Amino acid sequence: MRSSGRIALLLGMMLFGSAQAANIAPVNAWEIPSAPLPDLSGQTHEVAEWKGKIILLNFFATWCLPCQVEIADLKRWQKAHGKSGLQVIGISLDETRKIRNFVRSLEISYPVLVAGPGGTALMALWGNRLGEVPYTVIIAPDGNVPYVSQGAFSAAAFDRYVVPLLQK
């Protein structure tokens, strides 16, 4: 697909909220503009660093109750499937100090990156036009985005969209 077609596809995802809702083919994650983000130690990362893995990209905020609830599942899935190629990555819309305490309290072991309060623009690039959290993007090893989820990411969605990728 030409560049203008990819841009139109991305805009369509932003307008409709997800590739599934818009009933259009999902955009390739590696063609979305890169956004280097710091982790809690200040080292910058890009999602493309985990290229080749099955990425569960989870946007969250410390004040968001559904975000807090789904973290137990995210931790469990990372522990159970990390050696099979799953990489959970949290992207927080909070300030570093708040995130650091939150991560320590909930014993989050997967990478957490800091987008800060301005992270809603980054979420829009990934198809979240409303800027609501939690918001989860599944990225296949080849960059295909088979699923995005507005709201808490469920075990049923994990089984339907992530497990088949783990079995390839």
DSSP secondary structure, 63-93, as one string: T-HHHHHHHHHHHHHHHHHGGGTEEEEEEES
Mean pLDDT of 9-38: 60
- CA 61 to chain centroid, in Å, comes to 13
Q: 121 and 35 in contact (C-beta within 8 Å)?
A: no
- And the tokens for 102? 């939150």
Task: State pLDDT tens for residues 61-114.
Answer: 999 999 999 999 999 999 999 999 999 999 999 999 999 999 999 999 999 999
Task: Please indicate whether residue 11 or residue 124 has the higher confidence score (pLDDT).
Answer: 124
Residue 36 clears pLDDT 60, i.e. is over it: yes
- Give tens-digit pLDDT for 123-164: 988 889 899 999 999 999 999 999 999 999 999 999 999 999
Assign 118 a pLDDT band (cuts: 50, 70, 90).
confident
d(CA 96, CA 7) in angstroms, rounded, equals 32
Q: Which pLDDT value is given to residue 32?
A: 86
pLDDT at 168: 84
Residues recorded for the chain = 168
Residues 6+ positions from 21 with CB-CB distance below 8 Å: none
Whether 92 contacts 119, CB under 8 Å: yes
Contact 106, 67 (CB under 8 A): no
- Which pLDDT does position 35 carry in this prediction? 83
User: What single letter denotes the amino acid at residue 77?
Assistant: W
Cα separation of 168 and 165, whole Å? 5
25 vs 68, residue with greater confidence:
68
pLDDT at 1: 46
Q: Which long-range contacts (CB under 8 A, 24 or more apart) does 124-128 make?
A: 124/14, 125/10, 125/14, 125/32, 125/33, 125/35, 126/32, 126/57, 126/59, 127/10, 127/13, 127/14, 127/17, 127/18, 127/19, 128/17, 128/59
- Predicted pLDDT of residue 11: 42
pLDDT at residue 62, rounded to an integer: 96
